[in-house]
Chain A
Amino acid sequence: MITWLLIFLFLPTVTLTHVVASRLSIRNRQLFVRHRTALQSIFSVILSFTMINLLYFWQTANLWTSTSYLLISIISLSHIYFLMFCNSETGRRYFLMNLLSKKTMSISELREAYSHQYIISMRIKRLLHWKILCEQNGRLQLANKNSLRFSKIHQVWAKILGFSWPSK
């Protein structure tokens, strides 16, 4: 019963913790600080909920199965929460929908407000900040292989599903 209660309280608690942390954060105008604040809020709730569950089931037969069930559920919920947050920060769909929620726009107005150049330059800026890319003599190169591995996994799964973009 306690495991169920923790799972159902998880998202409201994460949201509340995130709201408090974000309001207290002084430098939350910076995207990287905002991401860090979201992750810190999520991890603190995961840790405290896991501890509560462990203490409740300590020395009972259900300890590992209930804790595994709780962890799988709350890690999944956390990832969904964080993805939603990232989408509202940097997602193309949300940005376009946000533009259209302010006024009706023609295709040329949309192109001007959210251009191909803007999208690419914003990604380069972020990748440089996260030290995934580095700049040498005005040329961008990969600074760490982990992001490449992640991108390759992404590409392979898109290929398996038959999407056209990996081969373009």
Chain B
Amino acid sequence: MTSLVILLSFVGFILGLSVHVFWWRISRPVKDVPALILCVIGIPLILVIVFKVAYPTFSNQEFLALLFLSCLHGAHYVTLYPAWQAGSPTVLVVLEIERSGPSSALQLEQRISEKLVCEETFNRLLNENWVLKNEAGFLLDRYGRSLTGICKQWRKLLRLPDGSG
């Protein structure tokens, strides 16, 4: 394993990230998570394969190490992305206090819009097909049920109650 592997993994990731920033600034895709995966995991993987073809002396072990690290950088960014996408309420509270000075809890509730905190998060769940709508109301989709099931089992294993939201 050489330091070239580590360096190349970051170069690939930064190139993928640049494509992501340009794409988002030009026109953000409606289904943004698959597009994001394509940018920050797909592009670096293609570059790694191209590099291996161009430099056959690059050993298979180094190739696999580079492949793994490139995927990991991308996966890491994908897990961070919802915090930027959704406008975390914690960040909004801190920024609001910085903007308008010392405030009461009631003033903060009034200033931070409900649309931003609740509606947009819920709309994204609908857009990304985690939640479905029928005549009776809203329910979880198959993927949503599977993900919630895994999280519930994990928390049960940790012997923890449901999260407080």
Q: Which A residues have a C-beta under 8 Å from some C-beta of B? A: 3, 7, 18-19, 22-23, 28-29, 31, 34, 62, 65-66, 68-69, 72-73, 76-77, 79-80, 83-84, 88-98, 100-101, 104-107, 109-111, 114-124, 126-127, 132-133, 136, 138-142, 147-148, 150-152, 154-155, 157-158, 160-163, 165-166, 168
Q: Is the CB of A127 within 8 A of B65?
A: no
Closest to B144 in A: A97
Known: A97-B130, A168-B116. A31 touches B102 (CB 8 A): no
> What separation, in Å, do the CA atoms of A80 and B74 have in the docked complex?
11
Q: Is the CB of B84 within 8 A of A157?
A: yes
Known: A100-B139, A120-B89. A34 touches B160 (CB 8 A): yes
User: Main SS of the interface on chain B?
Assistant: helix
Shortest Cβ distance from residue A65 to the other chain B in the assembled complex, whole angstroms: 5
Residues from chain A with a CB closer than 8 A to the CB of B134 are 104
Shortest Cβ distance from residue A100 to the other chain B in the assembled complex, whole angstroms: 5
Known: A122-B164, A154-B88. A140 touches B95 (CB 8 A): no
Q: Is B53 interfacial (CB-CB < 8 Å)? A: no
User: Main SS of the interface on chain A?
Assistant: helix
Residues from chain A with a CB closer than 8 A to the CB of B108 are 120, 124, 140
